[in-house]
Every structure is written in C-alpha cells, then in structure tokens.
Amino acid sequence: MSDLPKRIDIHEEGPREGFQIEQGPISTADKVRFCEALAETGLHDVQCVSFVDARRVPGMADAVEVAQTIRQRPDVHYTGIALNLRGYERAVQTPLHITGSLQMSASNTFSIHNTNKNNEETLAEQRRQLEFFRDKGIEVDTAIVMTAFGCNFEGAIAPETVRDCVGSLLELADEFGIKLDRMRLADTVGWASPLSVQRVVGIVRDKWPDLKLGLHLHDTRGTGMANALMGLQMGIDSYDTACAGLGGCPFAGHKGAAGNICTEDLVFMAHEMGIETGVDLDALIECARMAEDIVGHQLPGKIMHGGSLSKFRHGAGA
C-alpha cells in the first residue's frame, strides 16, 4: 500500500445531503447547530446548503437564513452549492464561501433527465456560468464528472468516456484562462466497484499525471468504503463524504438511493491506516449522533453505533 497518501482532505456534505432529502421538517436552528458542530471537529470544508428552488426541494427553503445565521470559525470554509445562475446569484449574497465548479455527466442521458440539458447544452450553460464567475470575481477551483462509474439510463460507462469528459472540462476551463485545482470523479448513482475506480482513475491519470483527483462516492450497493480504499491505494487525497451517512439513505425510506460514504467511518479507516485527516474522530461521532437526533431516525453510519476504539485502545475496556 505504498501509494497511500499521508493525509487526506475531507469535504463534508452531510448537512446539504441531509437537509435536502429528509422528509421531516428540520428547524433552521438545528441546521445551524449541526453545521457549527461539524466545524469544531477539525473539518475544513462544511457544505451547509444548496441554493435550489424551494418548490423542488422544500428542505432548502431556509438556505439563505441558515447561511446567514452560522457563526463562522475563521479556519473553516462553510460552503454551499448552486445548480444554475439563479442559485449562484442567491449564494453570493450570503456569507458562505462560494466557489465555482464546472460539471458534466459522463452519461448524456443522465444529464437530460437531471437538468433537461444534453452534454452540449450543459457546456453552453457552463460557459454562461463561467462568465458570471468572472464578472463576480468568483474563484473556480474544481470540476466534477458525474455518473463516472455507471448510469441507470446508459448502463456501464466506458473509462474512455470519462477521460473525454475530463478533457472537455479542462478545455472549457482553459478557454477562460482557468487552471483547475482538482477534478472530482463522482459515482452519482452508486455503480462503482474497486475495479472500476482503479480503471477510471488509471485512464485519467495516464493522460494527466499531474491533475489532482477527488472521489465523490455513494454507498448505494455496499462498496463505498472499499471504493474509497482503492482510491487511497491509488494515492487520491480528497473525498466528499457525509456525516452519519446522511443523504438518500434506505433507512430514511427513500428506496434505492443512498447517501455519500460516511465521514466518520472514512476518518476511522484512514486513521487506522496511518493516514491523517486533521479530524477529531470522537467529536465527529458526536456530530453523527446529533444528526440522528435531529432527523429522528437511525442513520446508516457504522462507527457512530459501534463506537470508536479510543477507550479500548490500551486494553482499558470492560
């Protein structure tokens, strides 16, 4: 396991994932409390909200209020996402750390279902966004290829297709004089296996050996943590995760979906493998328990139920 990174960066997406999909109304105060607690654990990026149409995602109706209420620590990026210009316009008026991200789906059909735009129209929309980012002085740092490991509409996705998407996004950034910091590969609908992670990462890295990569993994079919292990073994040092496994999880009654891989489970595995995260695992487990308390039902994270090893480590357990 010689390619293991010494340290990984974790982008916490639990609040946004959870608040947008949970059925029960979650109070603004609870949302704020959860984001603030996460920021006390050593996490440097906490994705708090999504600036989407509240008619489509009622749980995000108070996104601006959440963003304005959070008491920010100076060493943490409190972020939010937007899917279109209208969303970005709302986002930049809040105190959140808003950066631009380019995105494209490796599955054209998924794009059409998800955003009503094919890949060509998506690139055109991205150009309009890039102009907006330039006008507003918004930094563009990453890009993401969605459905990079498979798609419910198009089936298996060839690694070559993902490579071509990465190429298109890099070209687009280049058009605007932007050098992307990192390319994230997303297993949007939970198709990835360790083998496909190896293949897709391999083909992208072969072409752009210096491009930093990140993984956005969902644990839809139980392979999430194994896929993350493959990422670690390939030296990938950036992961999008959700505290407590918040998100479209089966336990929330959203059949078929599943949240991102669970932040504290990944932190545990990393630490056990000698990989630093900068995160206080026990504090993060308390956040996961807070999340369960807030949503009012069991969440899929494991170590929040199994307990960390800290009290047993030196044989002090009973």
Nearest to 260 by CA among 100, 99, 20: 20
Binding residue count for its own copies, defined by CB under 8 A: 59
Residue 249 known to be catalytic: yes
Q: What distance in Å separates the CA atoms of residue 163 and residue 106, rounded to the nearest whole number?
A: 9
Instruction: Tell me how far, at minimum, the Cβ of 3 lies from its own copies, in Å.
Output: 13
Q: How far is CA 129 from CA 26, 141, 182, 187, 214, in A?
A: 31, 13, 18, 24, 22
Return the residue of 37, 112, 257, 283 that touches its own copies, per CB under 8 A: 257
Q: Contact between 161 and its own copies (CB under 8 A)?
A: no
Q: What distance in Å separates the CA atoms of residue 251 and residue 50, rounded to the nearest whole number?
A: 22
Smaller CB distance to its own copies: residue 177 or 274?
274
275: left (phi over 0), alpha (psi -120 to 50) or beta: beta
Return the residue of 14, 80, 190, 247 that touches its own copies, per CB under 8 A: 190
Smaller CB distance to its own copies: residue 51 or 268?
268
Instruction: Tell me how far, at minimum, the Cβ of 153 lies from its own copies, in Å.
Output: 6
Smaller CB distance to its own copies: residue 76 or 197?
197
Instruction: Tell me how far, at minimum, the Cβ of 269 lies from its own copies, in Å.
Output: 5
Smaller CB distance to its own copies: residue 24 or 155?
155
Q: Contact between 309 and its own copies (CB under 8 A)?
A: yes
Q: Contact between 219 and its own copies (CB under 8 A)?
A: yes
Q: How far is CA 88 from CA 50, 66, 164, 166, 211, in A?
A: 10, 16, 27, 23, 26
- The distance in angstroms from the start CA to the end CA of the chain is 34
Instruction: Tell me how far, at minimum, the Cβ of 247 lies from its own copies, in Å.
Output: 12
Q: What distance in Å separates the CA atoms of residue 179 and residue 208, rounded to the nearest whole number?
A: 13
Coil, helix or strand for 121? helix
Which residues pair with residue 213 across a beta bridge? 183
Instruction: Tell me how far, at minimum, the Cβ of 298 lies from its own copies, in Å.
Output: 6
> Which parts of this chain interact with its own copies (CB under 8 A)?
1, 109, 150-156, 190-191, 193-196, 198, 219-226, 228-230, 250-251, 255-258, 262, 264-266, 268-269, 272-274, 298, 300-303, 305-309, 312-318
